[in-house]
């Protein structure tokens, strides 16, 4: 008969105090790096901590400190995001990096259904997190309302919904779109079209606006085809329709890399060479960009940077600083490859 090893009680600050022959208070001071503790005591306590394997109990600490040292990372519509949006992983990573160097823990809160909405709402109200990073909030989002009501330090990645004045980080879709279109014009293309996508979202509308900015008076609405989603198949359809309408086209700005990949496919079908007959540029610098044949020229989305900036903003608010309601916009370098 094997003896079941007794699940040993975890060492507490009291055990350390006894071991080191001092009081709880002094141990606490050492653990929290506070002044006014003698070198002798510090050494004894550090040895005792090591010996008994002491790790502070977070629940007790949270209870007395009234904070959790955790930040929520809220993601909506995970199915489409995790599978389609290559940026989300980078944002997650960037946020995690910044939070963990500040000794905060990142808690993923994934909203997949209405039940999840309730659960997350309860979680936020329960004081489990000291702040939140919200990715891709929807219009009329219950979570957004709760965050406001609790006055929880928060930051959105992308524009906050319902035109609210809340802190956010993002990129300037409009000027980025303008920049890459200008670059495409600079290669000598004369008839440049756009496959616009997701015009119901800020990002989609802004990319179209930037395209228009770049072309100025030469902008021709007939050369814009719009598709509902940032998706490969939408790109194929959009490109086909565009080619039908404007067979003499020699340049295309696709609203995302996935759309651009679809466009390349349609161009191949139609027997056009890229970049010979038609120059193509995308947006996002996602995994699609390198997979395409030829590799895409595109606008780089600094996903990790966005995550880091979002985390820094929350941390600043946690330190009591006033958030910048105007939003933080990150640079988007253009990556020039062979497709244009």
Partner DNA sequence: ACATAGTCTGTGCACGTTCACAGAATCTCA
Partner DNA sequence: TGAGATTCTGTGAACGTGCACAGACTATGT
Chain positions contacting its own copies, by CB under 8 A: 5, 7, 10, 53, 55-60, 62-63, 68, 73, 78-79, 81-84, 86, 88-90, 92-93, 96-97, 100-101, 103, 105-108, 110, 112, 115-116, 119, 122-123, 125-128, 151, 232, 261, 265, 287, 291, 293
CB 122 within 8 A of CB 142: no
CB 302 within 8 A of CB 283: no
Residue 104 in contact with DNA, rule: CB under 7 A: no
Sheet strands (E) in the chain: 70-76, 105-111, 131-135, 154-157, 168-171, 192-197, 224-227, 251-254, 279-281, 298-299, 328-330, 334-335
Residue 293 in contact with DNA, rule: CB under 7 A: no
CA distances from 12 to 20, 25, 57, 92, 308 (A): 13, 13, 8, 34, 35
Question: What is the secondary structure of 21-48 as a DSSP string?
Answer: TS-HHHHHHHHTT-S---HHHHHHHHHH
Which residue bears the tokens 């988007």? Answer: 332
CA distances from 49 to 29, 35, 44, 59, 106 (A): 13, 18, 9, 19, 27
Binding residue for DNA, selected from 4, 64, 151, 222, defined by CB under 7 A: 64
Binding residue for DNA, selected from 18, 41, 110, 121, defined by CB under 7 A: 41
Which CB sits closer to its own copies, 155 or 192? 155
Per-residue DSSP letter, 230: S
Tokens of 273: 């060479």
- CB within 8 A of 25, min separation 6: which ones? none
Single out the residue of 221, 214, 202 nearest to residue 177, CA to CA.
214
Residue 26 in contact with DNA, rule: CB under 7 A: yes
Minimum CB separation from its own copies for residue 192, in Å? 26
The sheet carrying 328-330 orders its strands as 105-111, 70-76, 131-135, 154-157, 168-171, 328-330
Residue 35 in contact with DNA, rule: CB under 7 A: yes
Which CB sits closer to DNA, 25 or 228? 25
Binding residue for DNA, selected from 43, 47, 60, 287, defined by CB under 7 A: 60
**Taking contact as CB under 7 A, which single stretch among the options 28-36, 154-162, 168-176, 298-306 is the one that binds DNA?**
28-36
Which CB sits closer to its own copies, 119 or 190? 119
Residue 8 in contact with DNA, rule: CB under 7 A: no
**Taking contact as CB under 7 A, which single stretch among the options 63-71, 175-183, 260-268, 308-316 is the one that binds DNA?**
63-71
82 makes contact, choosing from DNA, its own copies, none, with CB < 5 to 8 Å by partner type, with: its own copies
Dist CA 214 CA 260 (whole Å): 19
Residue 320 in contact with DNA, rule: CB under 7 A: no
Residue 291 in contact with DNA, rule: CB under 7 A: no
Which CB sits closer to its own copies, 211 or 288? 288
By CB under 7 A, name the binding residues for DNA: 9-10, 12-14, 21-26, 28-29, 31-32, 35-41, 54, 56-57, 60-61, 63-66
């Amino acid at each position: 008969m094997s003896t079941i090893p007794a699940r040993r009680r975890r060492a507490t600050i009291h055990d350390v105090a006894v071991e080191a022959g001092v009081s709880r208070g002094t141990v606490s001071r050492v653990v929290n790096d506070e002044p006014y503790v003698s070198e002798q005591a510090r050494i004894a306590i550090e040895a005792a901590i090591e010996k008994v394997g002491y790790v502070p109990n977070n629940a007790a600490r949270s209870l007395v400190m009234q904070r959790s040292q955790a930040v929520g990372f809220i993601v909506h519509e995970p199915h489409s995001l995790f599978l389609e949006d290559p940026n989300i992983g980078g944002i997650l990573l960037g946020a995690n990096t910044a939070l963990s160097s500040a000794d905060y823990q990142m808690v993923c809160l994934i909203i997949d259904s209405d039940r999840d909405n309730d659960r997350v709402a309860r979680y936020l109200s329960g004081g489990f997190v000291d702040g939140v990073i919200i990715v891709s909030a929807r219009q009329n989002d219950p979570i957004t309302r709760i965050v406001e009501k609790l006055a929880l330090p928060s930051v959105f990645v992308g524009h906050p919904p319902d035109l609210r004045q809340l802190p956010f980080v993002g990129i300037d879709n409009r000027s980025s779109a303008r920049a890459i279109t200008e670059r495409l014009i600079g290669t000598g293309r004369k008839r440049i079209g756009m496959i616009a996508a997701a015009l119901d979202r800020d990002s989609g509308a802004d990319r179209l606006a930037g395209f228009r900015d770049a072309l100025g008076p030469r902008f021709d609405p007939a050369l814009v085809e719009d598709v509902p989603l940032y998706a490969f198949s939408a790109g194929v359809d959009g490109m086909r329709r565009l080619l039908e309408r404007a067979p003499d086209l020699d340049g295309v700005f696709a609203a995302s890399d996935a759309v651009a990949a679809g466009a390349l496919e349609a161009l191949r079908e139609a027997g056009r060479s890229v970049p010979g007959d038609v120059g193509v540029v995308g947006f996002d610098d996602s995994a699609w960009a390198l997979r395409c044949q030829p590799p895409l020229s595109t606008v780089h989305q600094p996903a990790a940077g966005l995550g880091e900036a979002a985390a820094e903003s929350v941390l600043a608010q946690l330190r009591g600083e006033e958030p910048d309601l105007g939003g933080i916009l990150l640079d988007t370098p253009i990556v020039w490859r062979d497709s244009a």
